[in-house]
Amino acid sequence: MSVRVKLSDIIDGMECQTDESFSYLNKKTGKLVLVGHEEAMASEDDEPIEDFPDWQQEIIKAAEDIENETGEYIQLPSKFDIHEYSIMEDFCLSVEDEKTREILYTLIKGSGAFGRFKNAIHIYEIAEDWYKFRNDAFKEIAIEWCRENNIEYDD
């Protein structure tokens, strides 16, 4: 029997990742774990687990299972799988007002695109539209990931 997860938990796990932390799903329990650089290094270095706080010990144990490829954990889509820039670009192209669409699309080119975009969506009062578009895109990515990995989910 497959584990059942909440789609919102998968999305939260996808969103809280950074360049140095990745989210994993325990396929047996359905629990998510965010493994940071420190926990990953501690698991690789075989540091005494007792030197860490209780909450971190659990993460280090998970990191050890992940490192040892026990098959118990599966990585959620990372930022490299999500391509948030493409989502932002798709949003710009979906804006109905032609002038706003062209301005937004121009603003996302080059260095500093995310900052300019964030300012513009507030200036043009379409921030709510953006966040709904982004959430819908993340939801689709999460659904596809669940299906690919035979994970049952609740909306």
Residue 124 predicted with pLDDT over 60: yes
Residue 79 predicted with pLDDT over 90: no
Task: Give residue 49's pLDDT band: very low, low, confident or very high (50, 70, 90).
Answer: confident
Residue 1 predicted with pLDDT over 70: no
Residue 107 predicted with pLDDT over 90: yes
Residue with token string 């035979």 = 150
Alpha helices in 68-97 (DSSP H): 79-82, 84-94
Overall average pLDDT of the 19-41 stretch: 94
Overall average pLDDT of the 56-85 stretch: 92
Task: Give residue 93's pLDDT band: very low, low, confident or very high (50, 70, 90).
Answer: very high
Give this prediction's pTM.
Answer: 0.88
Overall average pLDDT of the 37-56 stretch: 86
Please name which of 70, 71, 69, 73 lies closest in space to residue 59, comparing C-alpha atoms: 73
- The predicted structure's pLDDT at residue 44: 85
Contact between 28 and 72 under an 8 Å Cβ cutoff? The reply is yes
Overall average pLDDT of the 74-81 stretch: 92
Tell me the pLDDT tens digit for each residue of 132-151: 999 999 999 999 999 999 99
Residue % of the chain over a pLDDT of 90 = 81
Half-sphere exposure of 104 (CA within 13 A, CB side): 28
Tell me the C-alpha distance between 124 and 33, whole Å: 37
Greatest mean pLDDT among 36-45, 65-74, 83-92 lies in: 83-92
- The predicted structure's pLDDT at residue 123: 96
Tell me the C-alpha distance between 16 and 138, whole Å: 12
